[in-house]
Structure 1
Amino acid sequence: MLSACAILAFDVGGLRAAPKQPTAKEPPAPATAKPNPLDLKRELPSPYSANAEGARPATANPDADAAYGAYQRGRYVTAFREATKRIEANPKDAAAMTLLGELYNQGLGVKQDPKRAHEWYRLAAAQNDANAMASLGLMAMDGRGQPKDEKAGRAWLEQAARKGQPSASYNLALIQLAGSKPEDLAAAVANFRTAAEAEVPAAQYALGVLYLQGKGVPRDTTQAAQWFRRAADNGDLGAEVEFAIRLFNGDGVPKDEARAARYFLHAAQRGNAIAQNRIAKLYVAGRGVSKNLVEAAAWNLAAASQGRADAGLDQATAGLNPDERRRAEALAADRANLSQ
């Protein structure tokens, strides 16, 4: 992932049980899942991923486009060769130019070369390719393949966003969110929504936070929960924990402790320390899962190994016998390996 420019960050308080208590560390009180900065280029699709504008869905017949099909299957040398053939046959094939730019940019099938990537993206952008414009915007922001130029980067992102390109819309929204003009916030919300509707999970998470805060939109915990769910189901780890908190408290979504526990457990298995801490608490209390102090201790140890110690959980699991303690430690070690 390219270097990120942090714009906004939130943290989460403790797991809350009804009646709800405010837990956020900064008003207006988001209860977000983890330190989860809304960063430029955070978890965005590449121009040729299944979620990017202009890319065929993953179920498309790869024979219909040999270059794209090879890229999707990880056969990057073949993708390079087939894209080159396409350009030889049609010197204005913008999609093939963008694909070559992507291969050079990431160093897939060819030696990584940001300058060559920039050249191919520029050629594709001249043919009005929105994906190439989005990539040029990020490269200008980072100074990859060219001198760093944030003004030019924003201009490229604006061009791509006007065409509805999802990653450009998301990154432009982050820039607008930091703006000082009232209209910047409205524009940021609109661009987050464009990206969110295109299933960019980082944008869905961002919209959830804005609805939770009532920032740029009316405060609406139901909308917040819906966007956190979509982001979670698209793989956003922070949103997964945030949605679990909504479920556990019945905040914007019907209360369902068992379902909340499943989300916490899945996020814990993916290595999220907050989720590991929360599922440990549920195992201690027998809320959403059967009470199990060995599991509680194991998840508590896993969270503590990532710097999230919890004296209350230590005390709650202090009565384990030596055999149970060994089992918990073994489970914690295994989970630490899985989350790396």
Structure 2
Amino acid sequence: MMARRWIIALAAPMVLIGTAPVSAFAPQETAAERGSGQTMPEVTVPSIASGTAPTNPGEPDSGSSEVRVLEEACGNDGISDCATLAKRFADGEGVAKDEARAATLFDKACIGGDADSCTLLGLAYHKGNGVPRSAERASAYFAQACEKGSPADCGNFGLSLVNGDGVKKDVDRAFGYFSAACKHGNAASCSSLGAAYSLGVGVKANARRARHLFKKSCDHDDAGGCYNLGVVYDQGLGVKKDPHRAASLYTGACDRDDGAACGNLGSLARDGRGIAKDVVRAAELFRKGCDLDDADGCLNLGRAYQAGSGVTQDSQQAASFYRRALEIEPDKADARNALAALEPH
């Protein structure tokens, strides 16, 4: 299944202006492959007050007989049917989209032992889709997915550990989960493992090993892996700089809705590096990145509006995109400084 992802930026050397650093500690929606009979290290699951997601029953809008069959089977404790129905409500497939109801159904399937549903409920709590945002609950459900599934299901819990999101930070333990998940076919975790090697998180920095893992991830169609491999060639991390190759990798990742890749591709278009200079296209790419919750994309779109580069000059629009960047990354100093300069007190 194609991954839904978020990019969590970590500081990296040689970051180009307007270019995001290597960062693809990016969780996937479900495991790429499953192992069997694997014994995982003990995982401490943070307590969850209610143990269930908030309920918002909702009703299917299509009267579909298939949906009614799924509802009846789920009511009779058909775990796989609950999981399927949850995805229907999450995506609005054959029913009115209802993320709250999807969360309730994912919770039931997770309790019944379905690791993918635990992961999807963790993502719902991470993003605030149908439930209140909660890093603690997100990490708890990621931990349950790791316990109930195979090593390939443990990448998201590794992300919680490496960033200290809702659980005590433990980069060494996170590295172990990334490594196990990558070995069991989880392409997104291969990218996360590559980022660990690139940044020296939980392991000695090794640019060559990082590049190999990013390529492995990208070759298995993971957009975050392609993005990170693009950063390697963009910034010359252990290789000769190659903006043409970087642009190609960013393009493929952006086409698969990786916001950071869209933002970086916009920077190349703005500066005429690796591709033809085109400030209008650059602004469009910054906007797409911003729409995909990339803070740098919002920041650069704000700069474009402030300068009138590729868009009509508009200070109010610039300020709104600087604010949006700060909503995504509250500690983003460049956006805060740009907004302060635009709106001096």
TM-score, normalised by the number of residues in structure 2? 0.54
Q: CA deviation at 1:145?
A: 5.0
5+ residue gaps, structure 1 = 13-21, 26-30, 55-75, 284-294, 309-340
**Which of 224, 229, 251 is the matching residue for 2:210?**
224
Cα distance per residue 1:282-316 (max 9 Å; x no partner): 66xxxxxxxxxxx6334x663366448xxxxxxxx
- Alignment-mate amino acid for residue 101 of structure 2: R
Q: CA deviation at 1:34?
A: 2.7
Q: Is 1:23 matched up with 2:14?
A: yes
Tell me the number of residue pairs that the alignment of Structure 1 and Structure 2 aligns: 251
Q: CA deviation at 1:118?
A: 3.5
Q: Which residue of 2 aligns with 1:173?
A: 158
Matches within 5 A, 1:157-236: 157-164=142-149, 169-179=154-164, 184-236=170-222
**Which of 220, 226, 247 is the matching residue for 1:240?**
226
Cα distance per residue 1:22-56 (max 9 Å; x no partner): 6148xxxxx996357657xx5633x5xx83659xx
TM-score, normalised by the number of residues in structure 1? 0.55
**Which of 100, 106, 110 is the matching residue for 1:121?**
106
- 1:44 aligned counterpart, secondary structure: coil
**Which of 260, 271, 276 is the matching residue for 1:296?**
276
Q: CA deviation at 1:168?
A: 5.5
8 Å contact from structure 2 (residues 21, 231) kept in 1: no
Q: Which residue of 1 aligns with 2:306?
A: none
5+ residue gaps, structure 2 = 36-62, 256-261, 287-299, 302-345
Q: Is 1:132 matched up with 2:113?
A: no
8 Å contact from structure 1 (residues 158, 168) kept in 2: no
Change (3 A) 1:148 1:214: closer
2:231 & 2:139 partners in 1: Cα distance? 35
- 1:296 aligned counterpart, secondary structure: coil
Q: CA deviation at 1:244?
A: 4.1
Change (3 A) 1:53 1:114: farther
Identical columns (%): 22
Q: Which residue of 1 aligns with 2:67?
A: 80
Query: Structure 1 stretches (4+) deviating beyond 6 angstroms?
Result: 3-6, 180-183
Q: CA deviation at 1:184?
A: 0.9
Q: CA deviation at 1:185?
A: 0.8
CA RMSD of the aligned region, Å? 4.7
**Which of 94, 103, 107 is the matching residue for 1:109?**
94
Q: CA deviation at 1:105?
A: 2.6
Change (3 A) 1:281 1:116: closer
Q: Is 1:97 matched up with 2:82?
A: yes
- CA radius of gyration, larger in: 1
- Alignment-mate amino acid for residue 225 of structure 1: R
Q: CA deviation at 1:161?
A: 0.9
- Alignment-mate amino acid for residue 28 of structure 2: L
Change (3 A) 1:172 1:242: closer
- 1:297 aligned counterpart, secondary structure: coil
- 2:154 aligned counterpart, secondary structure: helix
2:206 & 2:18 partners in 1: Cα distance? 15
Which deviates the most, 268-277 or 170-179? 268-277
Q: Which residue of 2 aligns with 1:44?
A: 28
8 Å contact from structure 2 (residues 143, 157) kept in 1: yes
Q: CA deviation at 1:202?
A: 4.1
